[in-house]
Amino acid sequence: MIKTDSFTNLEKVSLATEIGLVAPTDTPLYSLILNLGQVDQATSPVVVWREKTLDTTNDISVPEGANPVFYQSNRAEISNYCEIFLKGVEVSGSASASSIAGIPDLMASEVADRLAEMKVNIEKALINGVKNDGSQTPYIRRMGGLISFVPEGNKVTGANLDEANFKATVKKLWENGLGINEYVALVNADLKEAIDAIYDAKYQYIAPMQDNYFGLVVRRVQTNYGNVNIILNRHMPVDKMVVFDPAYLRIANLREPVFEPLAKTGDSVKGQVVAELTLKVLSPKAIAMFELTV
């Protein structure tokens, strides 16, 4: 537990574990990557990695005694910027000394609240962020989010999200030869309702022994191209569905989430919750997107 009596002006308290536990249902993408342990240490504000592409030569058969043809993996360079997330915390001396029912430590409670708020901001950036190097006013570096990495060839458009468009989106990943069978789809409420409607008349209801639950909620769809686990995410654009292989996503922390006490200048305790990180997409081919047309 985070307690204010454990802080000194020279200490930083890591919140790397706590951020994986707060608000998981409101930040499913960030929580998923953290829970998979796909976290790297960045060494600069600009994170650079290579996308490995395998050779696709159709015919490598040769006559007896032939000399080999030498191949090498193409390694395209990809980069993203670390974005700084910062929220301040301040509790007056009187408030800190007061007894509040259900809150044994007001400062710790405020830190936990700011951490949850920060995690929501990070979730939004991981999905919708637009890459910016911060070289112009207001000089804020911004990461490119998941949507910005979708290749043009992996986009499907349509007037509505029906079964054909859903399968066509998943098929894009299969055509790229990812070689896996488990995907994740992020959708907002309207498109989630559209997916539920696809299977409205295509299910069999089995009454549970004790609980009477009724309704149709699609959480997982099996297709010829892989299984898709559908996650409702309120931070997704209402007109888009993103399907991806989670194994290709990583978080790179330049500064993992920490609480830093600030100098005491009056009758209050001050601190800040700060994190600096970015999204790594090891291969953009592992992301496909459906978008509604106007």
CA atoms of 215 and 203, how far apart (whole Å): 11
Question: Where do runs of H (alpha helix) occur along 6-50?
Answer: 16-19, 28-35
CA atoms of 232 and 230, how far apart (whole Å): 7
Q: What is the pLDDT of residues 21-49, one digit of tens each?
A: 777 888 999 999 999 999 999 999 999 99
CA atoms of 204 and 218, how far apart (whole Å): 13
What residues contact 94, with CB distance under 8 A and at least 6 apart? 267
pLDDT at residue number 78: 94
Kindly give the parts of the chain with pLDDT less than 70.
1-11, 52-56, 73, 100-104, 179, 202-216
Q: What is the pLDDT of residues 121-156, one digit of tens each?
A: 999 999 999 999 999 999 999 999 999 999 999 999
Pull the structure tokens for residue 153: 């060839």
Does the 4-54+75-292 domain belong in CATH 2.60.120?
no
